Amino acid sequence: MSSETHELGFLRKYVFSLDHKVIGIQYGITSLSFVFVGLVLMMLMRWQIANPGEAVPIVGGLLEGVMGVPAAEGKISPDLYNMFGAMHGTIMIFLGIVPLVFGAFGNYLVPLQIGAPDMAFPKLNMFSYHLYLWGGLVMLASFLAPGGPAQAGWTSYPPLTTIIPTDGQTYWIIAMVIIITSSLLGSINVITTVIQLRAPGMTWGRLPFFVWTEFVTAFLLLLSFPPLESGAILQFVDRIFGASFFMPHDLIVSGTPMADVSGGGSPLLWQHLFWFLGHPEVYVLVLAPMGIVTEIFANNIRKPIWGYPAMVGSILTIGFLSMVVWAHHMFMTGMGSNISMFFQTTTTVISIPSVIVMTCLLLSLWGGSIRFTVPMLFAITFLPMFGIGGLTGIPMAFNSTDTVLHDSYYIIGHFHYLVAPGTLFAVFGGIYYWFPKATGRHMSVKLGHAHFWGSLVCMNLIFFPMLVQGLAGMGRRMSDGGANYSLANPSNEGVVGALSSTIMGLNVLIAWSVVALALFQLPFIFNFFYSIVAGEKVENDNPWGATTLEWQTPTPPPHGNFAEPVVVYRKAYDYSLHFKALHAQEAPEWGSVAHLPDFEPQNLPVSAETVGAPE
Amino acid sequence: MSHSQHEAIPYTTEVREDTGLYNGKLGMWLFLASEVMLFGGLFSAYVFLRLGARPGEWPHGLLNIPIGTFNTLVLITSSLTVAMSWTALKLGDFQTYRKYQLVTLACAVGFLAIKSFEYYDKFTHYEVWLKAPLAAGEHPGLAGHAAAPDAEVPSVIGHVEGVGPFETLASLEEAGATSITIHPDKYHYRLTAWQQAERTMKEASMEGGSAGAEAHEGLTIELSKIARLSALVPRHSTFFACYFTLTALHALHVAGGIVAFAWLLWPGARMWREEPERYTNRIEVTGLFWHFVDLVWIFLFPTLYLL
Ligand code: HEM
Ligand SMILES: [Cu+2]
């Protein structure tokens, strides 16, 4: 209030900032907020599944106030369940995880790790963030649209989406086009930055693995998102102008033939366009987390990552292959067995590079002196969790076995293992790891442990039962959690394959675990905000004793990042290599973890004369 | 505040040695890669739908080929002048650059003008599907539609008197109409090549163009006899859905190009005095975009008009 210039300064600094680090943090806070929204939707759905037909406690009245008829009497009607389901998936994937791993971590770290002053196009960067924010707001606004938000799943299959009587689906399409545009601009920025702005000496072989993962992610976003954008445009034309891109001939809805539709369209066309993005998208969700895990690993095992070239080769292979596996989501559509054969082959092949990455990380542990810091706990847990997620994918990769697994809870278990205790754990680890650089303070270790162990147990109590339920035949997307197909329903007496009370009982276990999981996020949220103001201050600019360039900056890094021009002399993970040679040197202080410098920062000259003599 | 940081970003104007590119150029190439995928998605949709179309249901010959060809030439000319203008800038000749860019803008605006004329023509043409086919002999205006007087006409295409582009059967009924008056076109895409030839022969054997004169007479059809009607808009068929979506998206790109070029020509031209090299780069990058937009049209034209 007192001075207007100050206000302007604030806007420039925090809202319309051109600094990649501020933009990264904006992305981070916004996307974590969306993850929170997704979490709340999920809790409501899970409560409904465990207690079909009952009113939601505490917030039921509020629900009815906001959502109106679909939430009559505070109950989650099947329609409302569908809305929450569609929005949970959409928000988590497109507004939560992708902006988190790409927008937040990518923006903050990529320029720092390659020794660049900023992104190649700072204004474009700011613009991408604001597009993302506005796309997200449009998506949220769809909750208030006449007829409620989208209801046809995060995959938005037509013709259901076209004939569904809600404006929310149109909001969904518009929001998606905005978000996709934002991702496209972001990916152009990241690729250009990595190619053009690497510091002198930062050759491709010296790039930290995280930069590689963001680089491949950016290409996936750049090339696979546009076909979905074209699909969204077509769906828009169908909905608004009454075209028939996805409306087949002679469509009959609830017994009435669709009037005034030209027909001639194809629902399969949408599925192809959607999954052409959809599958690369799942690698977008997981590549950068692999990078984060690798960074944390190298730092906490104090030795170079084993098989760095193989890992880089693997993610490049994943990048290429992920563009040719999409129709494994469509085995059940009757595409024809030759096409299914092709896609089941590519799908099995693509699991090989993923396994190589995981194996390299696993073997890197061998002979390391592992520090079980909080980031490392999250990172090391990523391996088995991602392992379960990946291995459960294999049976679905085959046409024949997928026939029974498709659209069951097994799939839900599969991909949640990958994105929840997989991706999200890597993200948590990353937050604990880079927090000291961004804020100059440590997060509390005790609270970190509570967060980690609690989340680990709860996540498994939530997602493992889903695999079991799916194998028992429980289908996904049922608002009553399968009650209609359970033995509790008298009309199912003696029906082979009806869901037993044990299987149905798992719904209750899951619901309570969800509540516990939410409670275990409280230590994290508290820790995060409390530590920003009152966490233990870092001892120096490189508290973990790390080799990569982001740690060789002032804390927090200023505009332009580096105090001096950077020159890179070494590979990314020179830990414990020249231990002896450096023995004689005075140890730089980097905390109480060790007393000898067992790492050589990438910008430390190699030749003996210059060692220890930086200006 | 942020200017100092801005200047620190390397390779905004000068070329990085190992890549041979400045940032903007690489950025534009990447953007174009994504655009290829965007239009690629739409072209694949076209192929997918066309391959799946029922026999005889994919309209042919309803687009105006001479106008389309002319528009293609207009766009190609504009690509040429963009290239010339950039060369002029490279030689330091701002005035020549300016002249060429004015031609570019004229071409681009001309392209859109011609396109809107085409759109308008489609908006005012209706196809009316009849519940029971009419015999061509029933009305002289239908003669042009069928090979023989007793051939059956499942639908009629033509101008409808006093009806806007987006009406449907339901909306006409709602408005209280009971019938429409249509002036059938001579050409109808549902005819096979054989019928077409027969029709032409028939017409030639008729006396002194009487058929042509008669075709202008209106044909009044009661709404109760109509199964469906639609102007030649996306609702009409998947062909027109493809046509309008693809060309409208392309036209949006043309409009974007116009804005960019106009901005660089007038308010953005200040940069020429202070940083001529950077300004020239901007023209090069925008020019790349323009050539791409041109190229998309070169694919669109034969796909939609000729095939
Ligand atoms: C390791 C190799 C993997 C294989 C072989 C695999 C296989 C599959 C298959 C075949 C499906 C379709 C099942 C069906 O619809 O019947 C599927 C679904 C899915 N997968 Fe994977 N997957 C793998 C890795 C991943 C990764 C890394 C992620 C994400 C981080 C992921 C996320 C998903 C998602 C989100 C779905 C379900 C989409 C939906 O229908 O809503 N998968 N997976
Ligand atoms: Cu997939």
Domains annotated on chain B, with CATH = 32-122+238-306 (1.20.120.80), 127-202+214-231 (no CATH)
Q: Coil, helix or strand for A108?
A: helix
Closest Cα of chain A to B223: distance in Å?
A: 14
Q: Of A278-287, A512-521, B149-158, where does mean pLDDT reach its minimum?
A: B149-158
Q: What is the pLDDT of residue B198?
A: 65
What pLDDT does A331 receive? 94
- In sequence order, the β-bridge partners of residue A366 are none
- How many residues would you count in chain A? 615
* Residue A478 and residue A530 share a domain: yes
Q: Do A370 and A322 belong to one domain?
A: yes
pLDDT band at A401 (very low <50, low <70, confident <90, very high): very high
DSSP state of A565: -
Give pLDDT, residue A610: 42
Residue A122 has pLDDT above 60, yes or no: yes
CA distance A128 to chain B (A): 14
One domain for residues A457 and A605: no
Query: Could you give the CA distance from residue B225 to residue A335 in angstroms, rounded to a whole number?
Result: 39
One domain, residues A413 and A503: yes
Q: How far is CA B251 from CA A117, A518, B71, B290, in A?
A: 38, 49, 12, 12
Same domain, A508 and A471: yes
Per-residue 3-state assignment (H helix, E strand, C coil) for A356-413: HHHHHHHHHCCCCCCCCCHHHHHHHHHHHHHHHHHHHHHHHHCHHHHHHHCCEHHHHH
| Torsion angles phi and psi, residue A264, rounded to 5 | 90, -5
**Residue A494: per-residue pLDDT:** 87
Looking at the complex, report in whole angstroms how far the Cα of residue A442 sits from the nearest Cα belonging to chain B: 28
Residue A294 forms part of a structural domain? yes
Domain count for chain A, please give it.
2
Q: Of the ligands numbered here, which is closest to the C-alpha atom of A325?
A: 2
> Among all ligands shown, which has an atom nearest to the Cα of A322?
2
Q: Tell me how far the alpha carbon of residue A351 lies from the centroid of ligand 2, in angstroms.
A: 11
| Whether the bond into A159 is cis, omega within 30 of 0 | yes
Structural domain including A514 reads 20-249+259-552
CA-based nearest residue to A354, from A204, A213, A220, A221: A213
> Which of B:111-170 have CB within 8 Å of A?
168-170
CB-based contact B49 A264, cutoff 8 Å: yes
- Mean pLDDT score across all residues of chain A: 92
Please tell me the distance from the alpha carbon of residue A612 to that of residue A615, in angstroms, as a whole number. Answer: 9
CA of B139 vs chain A CAs: smallest distance (Å): 26
CB contact under 8 Å between B238 and A264, yes or no, is: yes
Task: Name the B residues in 217-236 with CB < 8 Å from any A CB.
Answer: 228, 230, 233-236
Q: Is B2 on the interface with A (CB under 8 A)?
A: yes
Contact with chain B for residue A196, Cβ under 8 A: yes
Asked whether residue A537 falls in the same domain as residue A573, the answer is no
**Cα B171 to Cα A356: distance, rounded to the nearest angstrom:** 62
- ipTM of predicted assembly, 2 dp: 0.93
pLDDT digits (tens, 9 = 90+) for A355-389: 999 999 999 999 888 999 999 999 999 999 999 99
For the stretch A199-232, pLDDT in tens is 999 999 999 999 999 999 999 999 999 999 999 9
Pocket test for ligand 1, best of A92, A102, A282, A407 (most atoms within 8 A of CB): A282
pLDDT band at A499 (very low <50, low <70, confident <90, very high): very high
Specify if A15 maps to a domain: no
All residue ranges of chain B with pLDDT < 50 are 1-7, 207-215
Domain limit, last residue, from A533, A552, A571: A552
Q: Residue A124 has what pLDDT?
A: 97
Q: From ligand 1's centre to the CA of B162, what distance in Å?
A: 55
pLDDT at residue A369 in the model: 85
Instruction: Answer whether residue A480 is part of any domain.
Output: yes
Nearest ligand to the C-alpha of residue A153?
1
Burial class for A337, CB neighbours closer than 10 Å (0-12, 13-18, 19+): exposed
pLDDT at residue A503, rounded to an integer:
96
Which chain A residues contact residue B240 at CB under 8 A?
Answer: 243
- Is A158 in the same domain as A188? yes
Residue A243 in contact with partner chain B when CB distance is under 8 A: yes
- Average the pLDDT over each of A53-57, A545-549, B53-57 and give the range with the smallest value: B53-57
What average pLDDT does range A73-80 have in this prediction?
92
Q: Stretch A173-194: mean pLDDT, rounded?
A: 97
In this structure, is residue A6 part of a structural domain?
Answer: no
With tokens 């993005």, the residue in question is A277
Query: Can you tell me the mean pLDDT for A420-433?
Result: 97
Among protein residues, the one with the nearest Cα to ligand 1's atom 36 is A415
Q: Are residues A192 and A85 in the same domain?
A: yes
Give the per-residue pLDDT at B190.
65
CB-defined site of ligand 1, < 6 Å = A 155, 282, 285-286, 328-329, 347, 351, 354, 390, 393-394, 396-397, 402, 405-406, 411, 414-415, 418-419
**How many whole angstroms separate alpha carbon A348 and alpha carbon A49?**
34
Kindly indicate the confidence band of residue A34, based on its pLDDT and cuts at 50, 70 and 90: very high
Chain A (115-144) residues lying within 8 Å, Cβ to Cβ, of chain B: 116-118, 120-122, 124
Å from CA of A396 to ligand 2 middle: 10
